[in-house]
């Protein structure tokens, strides 16, 4: 059996996101996975309420932050990676294919000076690369489909899959964002479901089907047996048909054009302009064809 890290989830209700602290109980070293920077699109206000909850928890437990990990550039919330790096000094990391996402969105935002080389993060993980959280071994799986850059962190017996699998009653993630692919998503999910049955699966969102309480932990065995997509779709072609049909009915996330300019820059907010204020840049008609 792989080592069992101590995993604590923090549900952020505004975007239905789950953030994680993953700790080695022996060494008290930990990683933060997919942290959220609070943002209200109606007023343009930002805050660090969620990040401070995580920092308070870490202080109370006596943990030392070893990594700040993002699974991909998120389309529905801002990343708090840079804020947490400033507070803890821990390095930030993401998958190396983030450069493909940066190049795509650099064109969408018309950012000729933007560095699309991944240098905004301290570490770019390659497929199969290993690292440690304390004494617990970890490795990276390339999991494209939802985005070009999505990865899964397998830390001990825990796999952090974010927007690839949801809880079994929620199915799978959409694959219609720029650079997305339902075919690639099927293959990524097959790789995840090939992990040992007892592997704990931690998802990055929970939309509370039927109004139930938020949940975010399952196992590979549970996903194979009861996931509403994976237990029914027995072939790639069947899955692609189901996933693509579903995606055609979904509006874009309300924050996608807000969030990608922050998250392709490792959670950094835009630089202040001459009046000291920061501004987002929203391209019009850049995602034509999406359902309203």
Count of CA atoms in the C-beta half-sphere (13 A) of 178? 19
Q: How far apart are CA 34 and CA 8, in angstroms?
A: 12
Q: Mean per-residue pLDDT for 36-54?
A: 97
Please give the pLDDT value at position 292.
84
DSSP-derived secondary structure letter, 27: T
User: How do residues 90-99 score in pLDDT, each as one tens digit?
Assistant: 999 999 999 9
Q: What is the pLDDT of residue 135?
A: 97
**pLDDT-based confidence at residue 1 (cuts at 50, 70, 90):** low
> What pLDDT, in 10s, does the model give residues 219-245?
999 999 999 999 999 999 999 999 999
Asked if the model's pLDDT at residue 57 lies above 90, the reply is yes
Domain locations in the chain? 6-255
| Whether residue 265 has pLDDT greater than 60 | yes
Q: Which of 190, 172, 184 is nearest to 228 (CA)?
A: 172
Instruction: Give the residue carrying structure tokens 């397998």.
Output: 154
What's the average model confidence in pLDDT over 13-32? Answer: 97
Average pLDDT on 81-102 reads 98
Judged against a pLDDT cut of 70, whether residue 203 lies above it is answered with yes
State the average pLDDT for the chain: 96
Percent of the chain with pLDDT over 70: 100
- Mean pLDDT across the stretch 164-190? 95
Instruction: Give tens-digit pLDDT for 138-164.
Output: 999 999 999 999 999 999 999 999 999
How large is the average pLDDT for residues 80-95? 98
pLDDT at 291 over 90: no
DSSP-based three-state secondary structure for 66: strand
Tell me how far apart the alpha carbons of residues 218 and 166 are, in angstroms, rounded to a whole number.
9
**pLDDT above 80 for 2:** no
Q: What is the pLDDT of residue 290?
A: 81
Reported as a single tens digit per residue, the pLDDT across 246-256 is 999 999 999 99
According to the model, what pLDDT value does residue 99 have? 98
Average pLDDT, integer, range 34-49: 97
Q: Which residue has the tokens 């493909």?
A: 100
Distance CA 148, CA 161 (A): 14
pTM for the whole structure? 0.95
Average pLDDT over residues 43-52: 98
Helices (H), 110-227: 182-193, 220-226
State which fold the 6-255 domain adopts.
Metallo-beta-lactamase; Chain A (3.60.15)
Q: Residue 288: which residues within 8 A CB-CB, separation 6 or more?
A: none
pLDDT per residue over 104-118, tens digit each? 999 999 999 999 999
């Amino acid at each position: 059996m792989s080592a069992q890290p101590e995993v604590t989830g923090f549900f952020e209700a505004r975007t239905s996101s789950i953030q994680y602290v993953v700790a080695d109980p022996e060494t008290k070293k930990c990683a933060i996975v997919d942290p959220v920077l609070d943002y209200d699109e109606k007023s343009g206000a930002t805050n660090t309420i969620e990040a401070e909850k995580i920092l308070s928890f870490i202080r109370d437990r006596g943990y030392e932050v070893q990594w700040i990990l993002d699974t991909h550039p998120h389309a529905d919330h801002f990343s708090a990676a840079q804020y947490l790096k400033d507070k803890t000094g821990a390095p930030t990391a993401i998958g190396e294919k983030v450069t493909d996402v940066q190049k795509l969105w650099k064109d969408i935002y018309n950012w000729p000076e933007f560095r699309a080389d991944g240098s905004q993060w301290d570490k770019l993980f390659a497929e199969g690369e290993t690292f440690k959280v304390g004494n617990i071994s970890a490795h990276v799986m390339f999991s494209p489909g939802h985005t070009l850059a999505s990865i899964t962190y397998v830390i001990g017996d825990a796999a952090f899959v974010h927007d690839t699998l949801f809880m079994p009653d929620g199915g799978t993630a959409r694959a219609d964002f720029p650079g997305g692919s339902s075919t690639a998503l099927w293959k990524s999910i097959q790789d995840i479901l090939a992990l040992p049955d007892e592997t704990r699966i931690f998802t990055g969102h929970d939309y509370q089907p039927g109004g139930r309480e938020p949940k975010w932990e399952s196992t590979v065995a549970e996903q194979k047996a009861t996931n509403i997509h994976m237990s029914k779709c027995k072939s790639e072609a069947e899955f692609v048909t189901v996933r693509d049909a579903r995606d055609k009915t979904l509006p874009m996330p309300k924050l996608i054009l807000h969030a990608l300019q922050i998250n392709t820059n490792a959670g950094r907010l835009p630089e202040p302009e001459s009046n000291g204020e920061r501004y987002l840049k929203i391209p019009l008609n850049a995602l034509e064809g999406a359902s309203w």
